[in-house]
Structure 1
């Protein structure tokens, strides 16, 4: 009986977390370069279920194997869906989208390195190419790209940053052995994890100037997943209520001597 309670409770917890993941995907549908996350579930290791009987007249316990069974299900991890989002043309000279694999490399004021697909860049007060949140866009050699006070700035398909007709920097792109396991540290920022592998510099030949990659969230898919999760949660809650009521009945019936 208690196994039923544990199973229903774990199912509720799994669906609750899956709903949170789906809700976060929907909340970031308009976030540039956002990658939807997928909830990955796994079962506990299987255990051997046995029936215990007492043999008279000595009362010796005898165990009869019934079979293997898993006791619970848990949310193992959330993985990134690395598929590309739709590219939208903006005609902004500081906007650039990646066609194919790859991530821009960024650095904050504390020296932390991040990776992103969001190419909605701008200039800070010092004329440095930065993200909307202020992280510096890294170029060749891992150094920030300084544009200065140029009047005309453009980024071409090969990642060259051109200020007043002069190349002042080269955007670097990096790829990973398994980008689905990058660690999400912001709406569209990622960091390296053991499972993702180390960043590998790739040749920049496939940028789309004056455009942005939108979120890869599919509203219809996420809404269906949200409804499925809510219904599964409600079914697990009803199962928990039934298990609790049956446990109470057993205690009432057999708990008195």
Structure 2
């Protein structure tokens, strides 16, 4: 079998996988706080080809290496901030973190997130601050996840008429105060997008996002009545989708050429008279 067929097929599969990521990004272009996924490719191991001397078997000269194709290794979220959009809704909250310090170990800026509790009581993280108060008075996300306070307990309010200060303190209309849990991580690359802008932590639990109120960071704020837009650039994404389709098509034509070559070898050259 021609090895090039495997190379072309791997290119088609990698392109198809990347197209899935791009399609998901485009479908979430209007989802507040959504972070676009960027596909990363990796090549399969190379083959070292040698010329075999039948007269002197011990003298085999190297011809070179043969590439065997690529595959989509993973999708890495791009955690750059989206633009702010004013909604004037008291339940809409946005995180402002442009002035967070640069981590000395990674050389990159960290990330802050809201904490939410799922139905199985597990904690997840999100930048989507499109919240609402449900019939039981709990502050929830659009998916129904409960937003948690500083003790990782759900925040319960008497109504949706509340005020949020810059540091994340919620002032209810009856005068009570609650503190939003806002997590900080210096290694956002360990966050995996679960869907609907919700992230799960895949790294060492000892380094999982911790409550930023316990640190000395002051370079962040919570903006009430605003939402953070997704960081998906629709024009760039659609251009990437077109280029990925062209790449898929090019590999497909390579396969067709191999198919025609095999057909000619079997039916014409290899014909026995």
Q: Is the TM value for this pair above 0.5?
A: yes
Q: Distance in 2 between matches of 1:201 and 1:13?
A: 41
1:151 to partner: Cα distance: 6.9
Pick which of 197-206 and 242-251 moved more.
Answer: 197-206
Q: CA deviation at 1:84?
A: 0.7
Cα distance in 2 for partners of 1:168, 1:146 equals 11
Give the number of aligned pairs: 253
Distance (Å, rounded) in 2 between the aligned partners of 1:106 and 1:223: 32
Q: What does 1:230-249 correspond to in 2, within 5 Å?
A: 230-249=245-264
Q: Does 1:211 align with 2:226?
A: yes
Q: Please state if 1:73 is matched with 2:70.
A: yes
Distance 1:26 1:229 in 2: 14
Structure 1 contact 80–181 (Cα < 8 Å) conserved: no
**Mapping for residues 1-257 of structure 1, pairs under 5 Å:** 2-55=2-55, 63-100=60-97, 101-147=111-157, 149-150=158-159, 152-164=161-173, 166-194=175-203, 197-203=207-213, 205-252=220-267, 255=270
Q: Provide, for residues 131-172 of structure 1, a one-character-per-residue CA deviation record: whole Å limited to 9, x for no partner.
A: 12111111111111121x247312121101111162431012
Measured against aligned partners, the alpha-carbon deviations of 1:200-223 in whole angstroms (never above 9, x if no partner) come to: 332474111110011110011101
Following TM superposition, by how much is the alpha carbon of 1:249 offset from its aligned partner in structure 2, in angstroms?
2.2
RMSD across aligned positions (CA): 2.2
Instruction: Work out whether residues 7 and 67 of structure 2, in 8 Å CA contact, stay in contact via their aligned partners in 1.
Output: no
Structure 2 Cα separation of the partners of residues 168 and 49 of structure 1: 71
**Mapped partners of 1:16, 1:151: distance in 2:** 44
Find the residue that maps to 2:211 and give its secondary structure.
strand
Q: In structure 1, list runs of 5 or more residues that go unmatched.
A: none
Question: Residue 174 of structure 1 aligns to a residue in which SS?
Answer: strand
Instruction: Please give the alpha-carbon distance, in whole angstroms, between the structure 2 residues aligned to 1:51 and 1:199.
Output: 55
Change beyond 3 A, Cα 1:235–1:150: closer
Alpha carbons of structure 1 residues 151 and 3: separation in structure 2 relative to 1, 3 Å: closer
Q: Quick one: structure 1 residues 195 and 156, their matched pair in 2 at CA, closer, same or farther if it must change by over 3 Å?
A: same
Stretch deviating more after TM superposition (167-176 or 62-71): 62-71
Aligned structure 1 segments of 4 or more residues deviating by more than 3 angstroms: 60-63, 251-257
Q: Contact conserved, 1:182 with 1:195, CA < 8 A, in 2?
A: no
Using the size of structure 2 for normalisation, the TM-score is 0.85
After TM superposition, the structure 1 stretch with the greater mean CA deviation from structure 2, 165-174 or 14-23, is 165-174
Aligned equivalents of 1:224 and 1:150: distance in 2? 45
